[in-house]
Structure 1
């Protein structure tokens, strides 16, 4: 019997992966005071039937995150904690990439970590993100943009300083043993903010036309490849929505077509295209979704000629087979279902359903709760 497409091996960068089903980054905020723990190791090792695990977003510098207890990678204690996790994942036979994350205007000045940082909230331009409401996920937990308007940020004076922070984070990730790194270029976070004409009103080399708005993200990718070579992925969300980003359709097509074409030139390991998903679309005006809804795969996949093309957001295993068979993707990332099904690929192989009900209130850890609940306690499939 022929092996179904998503279960075939695939070469991504320097690594041969055992299947085409990756685990997308999933922020679970179980890192007290930003430091990785043994509980996090248990969580990741449970999910090593994934060909490739992308870590939750790892902060490259202290920031006021949307979620408390998100992990960092800026000091030796962080490196040691991640080294322990990476070793466990490798021993269990999988690969793990560090997703490098910089929020900037999505950070909040009153968050404890931001106060500890002792620096302003920076952004491409001094334009605040509006607080919005999720257009479809009523029970989403721990996302302050549902509740507040972020204070007006300060325009970053020299973006090269942040490029250097990304490079140092990559060096730290390499020291921790990560196989590669993924640049978080989605979510309304910093790279996304520089690309977006609504959040980037700069008039210097970092803003204005498509080429200038793309330059920050491209320089970060260049810095990361200086550390990892072809071992760099990039996660992009052309449609916007989350984080109060999104441009008119024609401007979106022009911006992301240029960025993807240029990003593909250094031969990245992969580019992950996030499709439109209503769960990540927010309303900042009542009844008006923020995202620029369009067919992301049809619009940009053909521009990816050197890197592998991953597709993410609400991709089922069956659709993944079809996307790969039709060359619309080389592989897929699945996100939320990995939260509740640590044996996800085994379930696919054995024809078992994804039937664990999510505990929404435990997606993000509470201050006084047993952090293993809703994290490492979902049962495997019964036989």
Structure 2
């Protein structure tokens, strides 16, 4: 592996290699969603393990926009206590020689199922389908399982929530921010014609459905300049998202072309993974197609990254042939704190993911399946 270990300019910083650590929810924050010492150890381990760029787990921009059960300990970045917690993490990551972006996240219509938590907001009053077991993010026993969302009256108020979070991320010492526009969460819900049935300027045509995501990106650029990135999953069907192929290509071609004009640091394309595509009403929900060959040619002012079930050998070939500028790994970084070093030295990736502890358990030592994966002695 040689090309993977060449430096790359991303925004106005240079990362040491092309092996990024993708956002993977770990659910280990304090009950008040403040990043803690065990999270600091987790990120430090992977910075020392050679990650060129670390993207945090999905980080909530408000106390309202989370999914129950699985994400009750997801970190936030809407208050100063959370900012201070993240500052301790960015400090040690930088001392270890890595760069770190904060992934900004709101789940929209998938928010808290408890009516006491207040309204659930989405682009339209269209609930997500898929009762228990048919979607990896839905742990509710009833079907369809998600509450009826309230249509967001003024999407600009949510644009401001993202901008406030970006300002906090800057205070926390992050090198940049990544907008989570994938996996059926709020930005993706605006893009998709099955979850966004608005008839105003925020819905209808692909241009109108892309408006929310583009306005959010512009607000983030106001804060971080070129150090703003975007993650999309055009092919996946997670959380009851997915349009016909023609509509999908038209929508994401417009969205990514316009996003690229903002000269973002990078755009991450997520590959279609059949095992991640839920079955709803007896059918796979997603729209399988290759994002690199379909959209890669539209990205000219930003770096292009790919994520989704890559092997190191495949990653090397994709970068070597110029199809992408870099790659992200998810689960391999969970299980191998020294992933980049292992790849560089040809070591086996033989740690098995402890699935029962992937998202933590308040009744179990939080280190299990989190900071206790062994590294190789070099």
| TM-score, normalised by the number of residues in structure 2 | 0.95
| Partner in structure 2 of residue 69 of structure 1 | 73
Offset of residue 108 of structure 1: 2.6
Distance in 2 (CA, whole Å) between partners of 1:92 and 1:271 is: 25
Equivalence for 2:113:
109
1:260, 1:300 within 8 Å by CA — same for their partners in 2?
yes
Q: Deviations over 1:83-116 (max 9, x none)?
A: 0111111111100000000111111322xxx84x
Asked if residue 44 in structure 1 is aligned to residue 65 in structure 2, the reply is: no
Q: Secondary structure at the match of 1:381?
A: coil
Question: Aligned-residue CA RMSD in angstroms?
Answer: 1.6
- Partner SS state of residue 362, structure 2: coil
Residues 1:16 and 2:14 aligned together: yes
Map of 2:366 onto structure 1? 371
1:194 maps onto 2:190 in alignment: yes
CA distance in 2, matches of 1:253, 1:182: 22
**Is the counterpart of residue 86 in structure 1 residue 78 in structure 2?**
no
2:200 paired residue number: 204
- Alignment partners' CA distance in 2, 1:280 and 1:272: 17
2:238 equivalent among 242, 256, 263: 242
Distance 1:134 1:305, change over 3 A: farther
The 1-side partners of 2:286 and 2:133 are apart by 11
Asked if 2 retains the 8 angstrom alpha-carbon contact of 1:134 and 1:283, the reply is no
1:231-270 counterparts in 2 under 5 A?
A: 231-270=227-266
Aligned to 1:16, the other structure's residue is in SS state: strand
Whole-angstrom distance in 2 between the partners of 1:314 and 1:147: 31
Distance verdict in 2 for CA 1:147–1:268, change over 3 Å: farther
Task: Identify the residue that residue 311 of structure 1 maps to in structure 2.
Answer: 306
Q: How does 1:118-129 map onto structure 2 within 5 Å? A: 118-129=117-128
Residue number in structure 2 paired with 1:169: 165
User: What is residue 223 of structure 1 aligned with on the other side?
Assistant: 219
SS in structure 2 of the partner of residue 220 of structure 1: helix
Distance 1:314 1:211, change over 3 A: same
CA deviation profile, 1:130-172 (whole Å, cap 9, x unmatched) = 125778x9xx6x7526975101111010000000000000000
Q: Is the contact made by 1:133 and 1:284 (CA closer than 8 Å) also made in structure 2?
A: no
- Return the offset for 1:326: 1.7
Q: In 2, Cα distance between the equivalents of 1:167 and 1:247?
A: 29
Partner Cα distance (1:312, 1:108) in 2: 28
Q: For structure 2, which runs of at least 5 residues remain unmatched after alignment?
A: none
Q: Which residue in 2 is equivalent to 1:296? A: 291
Secondary structure of 1:144's counterpart equals coil
Question: Secondary structure in 2 aligned to 1:56?
Answer: coil
Residue 324 of structure 1: aligned partner: 319
Asked if 1 retains the 8 angstrom alpha-carbon contact of 2:131 and 2:138, the reply is: no
Distance 1:107 1:299, change over 3 A: same
Does the residue aligned with 2:57 lie in a helix, a strand or coil? strand
Q: Does 2:152 match 1:182?
A: no
Give yes or no for contact 2:27–2:74 (8 Å, CA) kept in 1. Answer: yes
Regions of 4+ moved over 4 Å: 132-135, 145-148
Structure 2 distance, partners of 1:194, 1:290, is 17
Q: 2:179 and 2:248 mapped to 1: Cα distance?
A: 20
Match of 2:104 in 1: 100
- What is the rounded CA distance, in whole Å, between the counterparts of 2:26 and 2:91 in structure 1? 20
Verify the 8 A CA contact 1:235 1:273 in the aligned structure 2.
yes
- Give the Cα–Cα distance (whole angstroms) in 2 for the partners of residues 134 and 255 of structure 1: 29
Partner secondary structure for residue 11 of structure 1: strand
- TM-score in terms of structure 1 length: 0.94
Tell me, yes or no, if structure 1 residue 359 matches structure 2 residue 363: no
In the alignment, structure 1 segments of 5+ residues that lack a partner are none
Q: 1:32 Cα shift?
A: 2.1
Tell me how many residue pairs correspond in the alignment: 371
Task: Indicate the residue corresponding to 2:330 in structure 1.
Answer: 335
SS in 2 for 1:233: strand
